[in-house]
C-alpha cells in the first residue's frame, strides 16, 4: 500500500496536522514525517493494524472481505437498489470521498502484480462498502462515489473476463456504464465502452470492436486527453484487425500524441493512473504489432520496455510481443 499517499490524503481530508495523525496511530510526529517523505517503510503487520485501527479504516477497505459465495461472479440487484436510495442530505464531504478513493485504489493496483482472482473478494467487498455510503451522500460527493462504484464494477468485469466469465464481465460493464452516466462522468463512460471494444476484439469480432471503439471516442462531452488517448488506441487496434492499416497508424499516432498531453498521474482519472509516456510508447508498439508493421513495433516496444517498471505481468506480455516481432521481421 502507498502509505505516504494515504497519510497525506487522510490529513488533507481531516484537516489534521502530522502531530494529530501521530496521536491517532500512536506514532511520533517525526515518524509520520519520515513516512510521508518516503524515508521510512511500513512493513510490520502490527504497525499496519495499529494504523488502520487509528484511522478507522473499515474492514472492507483493509482487504478483509465480507462473507460471500466464492464463485459469485455476477453482480447482484442489491447494488443498484442502494444507488437508487441515495438521499438528498449529505453526511460526507468530498475530501473524505477522495480519501476513500485513495485507500481503495491501492488494492486495485496490487492486481498488476498478483492477479485479480485472489483480490476479487476484496474489491467486491470494497464495492459494497462504497455503495453503502451512497444513501448518506448527495451532490458532488454522491457523484464521486458513483464514479468509484463504476471503477470497481469495471475492475470486477476485467477479472471476470480473465476467468472466462464473459456474461458476468459484460453485466459488470453495463452496471459501470450506467453509474458513469448517472455521475456525469464522460471519461468513465468512454473507458468502459473501450473495455467492451477490447472484449469484442479478443472474442474475434473486429468490425463490431471497431464500432464500439468509435462509440468510446464519441462519448457525449469533452474527453480528457488520457481517456481520448485510450479510446483512440482501442480504435487503432480494431482498425488493424480489419485490415485498415493506414487508419490504424493514424489513430495510433493520435493516441500517442494525446497521451503525451495527459497530466501527471495524480490529476488523471484514477483508473488511468498507469498511462504515462512509457505506456504511450508501448501502446504505439502494440498497434504496430497488430498491423504487422514489425520494424515500428520493434522500435516502440524496445523503447517502452526499457522504462516499464513495477508491472511484471505486463512486462512479460510486451517482451513476448517484441520477441515475436523480431522473429517475424
Task: Strands of the chain (E only): list them.
Answer: none
Q: Which residue has the higher pLDDT, 16 or 230?
A: 230
What predicted TM-score, i.e. pTM, was given to this entire model? 0.72
Report the CATH superfamily, name and number, of domain 185-329: Tetratricopeptide repeat domain (1.25.40.10)
Rounded distance, CA 55 to CA 252, Å?
44
| CATH, domain range 1-57 | 1.10.260.40
Tell me how long the chain is.
329
pLDDT over 90 at 298, yes or no: yes
Q: Which residue has the cell 494529530?
A: 20
Rounded distance, CA 328 to CA 318, Å?
15
Report the candidate in 100, 154, 111 with the shortest Cα–Cα distance to residue 274.
Answer: 111
Please, what is the Cα angle at 150 between 147 and 155, to 5 degrees? 130
Sorted by where each begins, the domain ranges of the chain are 1-57, 63-182, 185-329
Grid cell for residue 96: 473524505
Mean of the per-residue pLDDT values of the chain:
82
Percentage of the chain beyond pLDDT 70 is 76
**Residue range 238-250: average pLDDT?**
96
Amino acid at each position: 500500500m502507498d502509505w505516504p499517499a494515504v497519510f497525506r490524503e487522510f490529513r488533507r481530508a481531516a484537516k489534521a496536522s502530522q502531530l494529530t495523525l501521530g496521536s491517532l496511530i500512536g506514532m511520533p510526529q517525526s515518524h509520520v514525517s519520515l513516512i510521508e517523505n518516503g524515508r521510512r517503510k511500513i512493513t510490520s503487520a502490527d504497525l499496519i493494524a495499529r494504523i488502520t485501527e487509528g484511522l478507522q479504516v473499515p474492514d472492507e477497505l483493509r482487504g478483509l472481505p465480507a462473507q460471500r459465495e466464492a464463485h459469485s461472479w455476477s453482480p447482484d440487484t442489491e447494488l443498484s437498489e442502494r444507488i437508487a436510495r441515495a438521499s438528498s442530505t449529505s453526511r460526507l464531504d468530498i475530501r473524505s470521498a477522495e480519501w476513500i478513493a485513495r485507500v481503495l485504489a491501492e488494492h486495485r493496483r496490487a492486481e498488476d502484480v498478483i492477479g485479480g482472482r485472489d483480490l476479487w473478494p476484496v474489491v467486491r467487498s470494497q464495492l459494497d462498502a462504497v455503495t453503502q455510503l451512497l444513501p448518506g451522500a448527495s451532490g458532488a460527493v454522491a457523484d464521486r462515489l458513483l464514479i468509484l462504484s463504476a471503477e470497481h464494477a469495471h475492475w470486477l468485469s476485467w477479472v471476470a473476463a480473465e476467468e472466462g466469465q464473459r456474461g458476468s464481465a459484460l453485466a459488470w460493464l453495463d452496471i459501470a456504464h450506467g453509474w458513469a452516466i448517472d455521475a456525469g462522468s464522460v471519461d468513465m463512460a468512454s473507458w468502459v465502452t473501450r473495455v467492451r471494444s477490447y472484449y469484442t476484439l479478443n472474442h474475434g469480432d473486429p468490425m463490431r470492436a471497431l464500432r464500439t471503439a468509435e462509440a468510446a471516442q464519441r462519448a457525449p462531452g469533452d474527453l480528457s486527453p488520457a481517456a481520448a488517448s485510450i479510446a483512440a488506441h482501442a480504435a487503432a487496434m480494431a482498425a488493424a484487425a480489419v485490415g485498415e492499416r493506414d487508419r490504424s497508424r493514424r489513430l495510433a499516432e493520435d493516441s500517442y500524441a494525446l497521451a503525451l498531453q495527459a497530466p501527471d498521474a495524480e490529476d488523471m482519472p484514477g483508473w488511468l493512473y498507469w498511462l504515462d509516456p512509457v505506456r504511450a510508447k508501448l501502446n504505439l508498439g502494440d498497434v504496430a504489432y497488430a498491423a504487422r508493421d514489425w520494424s515500428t513495433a520493434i522500435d516502440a516496444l524496445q523503447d517502452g520496455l526499457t522504462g516499464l517498471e513495477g508491472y511484471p505481468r505486463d512486462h512479460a506480455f510486451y517482451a513476448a510481443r517484441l520477441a515475436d516481432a523480431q522473429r517475424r521481421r
